[in-house]
Amino acid sequence: MNAIISASDLARDLAGARPPVLLDVRWQLTAAKAAGEPPFDGRAAYEAGHLPTAVFVDLDRELASAPGKGGRHPLPDLAHFGTAMRRAGVSAGTPVVVYDGGQGWAAARAWWLLRWTGHPDVRVLDGGLPSWEGPLDTSVPDPAEGDFVPEPGAGLLDADDAAALARSGVLLDARAGERYRGEVEPIDPVAGHIPGAVSAPTTENVGADGRFLPAWELRARFEGLGVSEGTRVGVYCGSGVSAAHEVLALAAAGIPAELYVGSWSEWSSDPDRPVAVGPDPR
């Protein structure tokens, strides 16, 4: 099953006999802002207009736990996550489509969590809300309670796993290149990357329109980064959000990959973890 869906295919499916549950996960990374500038409010954006029948899901509160030793976006409590998904109408036997404001990172986080916890049919709207050409709705739906119960599976890395994978397979760093090289670090306490990790900015997986590159281009890109048939692949970023988007890009290219959710925000908070700087992985 393809991990992404076009707006035209989504419109067709919504009009069909088995319409998917829609999840709106609009979110933006909150960094230092000019005095008086309010942070992005995903719920307000949702209430101003969303895809018909879509339910808002809060990334910070429902797709992650509070920041702490596990990083800025640790895994959510699975009971809390399951409650949120059932409230949104998610059932094990019903397809799910997730979208955000167009960047794709937040939608990919929801996609990864649902797939990791056992949902068999989840896709991300390619290009997000800007790709949708149909009408938007401002009403807040009240879907029937779903029955999805999350059951964790494979594909999750911790810090030790990531360190080992950087030596034995390919560990991709999905952050911007300047953060990987240690030239800047606007959020976390230490600049640089996990020794052995390969720089692979997730922004290079999409075109100018925010949609994923064709599968063959994505495969060629990852092959150029050292991924070959049978290679074990892991991905990390700052806090396990943009890295989920890279895992999604890898899935679109037919390449399975694992996610280090704690990512650099967890790694860099431990002074005993080694840090590499510069363009060289080591």
Give the active site residues. Answer: 237
State the Cα–Cα distance between residues 229 and 170, nearest whole angstrom: 12
- 197 contacts 171 by C-beta, under 8 angstroms: yes
**DSSP H/E element including 85:** helix 78-87
Q: How far is it between the farthest Cα atoms of the chain?
A: 55
Q: What is the DSSP letter of 130?
A: G
| Structure tokens that stand for 133 in this block | 């050409």
Q: What contacts 88, CB < 8 A, 6 or more positions away?
A: 21, 23, 55, 57, 143, 146
Three-state DSSP at 137 gives strand
| Structure tokens that stand for 50 in this block | 């969303």
CB atoms closer than 10 angstroms to residue 30: 11
State the Cα–Cα distance between residues 257 and 133, nearest whole angstrom: 32
Q: What is the DSSP letter of 66?
A: -
- 188 contacts 265 by C-beta, under 8 angstroms: yes
Tell me how many helices (H) and strands (E) the chain has: 10, 10
- Tokens 């949120």: give the residue: 84
CB atoms closer than 10 angstroms to residue 18: 9
State the Cα–Cα distance between residues 265 and 128, nearest whole angstrom: 26
